Amino acid sequence: MDLKSLIRDIPDFPKPGIVFRDITTVLRDPAGLRYITDCLAQKLAAAGLNAEYIVGMESRGFIIGAPLAYKLGLGFIPVRKPGKLPSLVHSVEYELEYGTDRLEVHQDALQPGSRVVIVDDLIATGGTATATAKLMQQIGCQLLGFGFIIELQDLQGRKYLPDVPIVTLVEY
């Protein structure tokens, strides 16, 4: 499948000069959704990571992560923006281009030593993925790898991630 043909480019979003790679056009296509789920599952399985959980960040990481966890027979752990989780949380603050943001996970979601793979739709600068990795470290999890549909290679986000396998399906 030509995955790039299903990804919509939206120029000047969220600001002038940025080309947003929109995966909603992949998700609405039944064959496209199956393809990204199956391909990520195959690549992660081939890496022999032996994970227990898929960790996905709000919000597209949820869309990718839940069916991927199901396909691999793993649990799914949501990482959310502040104030969205009803129980006690672990949190990490991270830098954005203009300010900071925070990610949270329930304190009882994972135990120290849990084996996790972090997934999201896209890696650009690596900020959200790096913050999620730090959150997993804070808990004491074993971070086994990352999975992304899209990698924006010019932004070099990969170099900021921990030295674990990184699976991507398409590069720009």
The catalytic site residues sit at 60, 97
Task: Name the one residue in this structure whose structure tokens are 């949820």.
Answer: 62
State the amino acid at position 14 in one-letter form: P
Query: What is the sign, positive or negative, of the torsion defined by CA atoms of 86, 161, 140, 76?
Result: positive
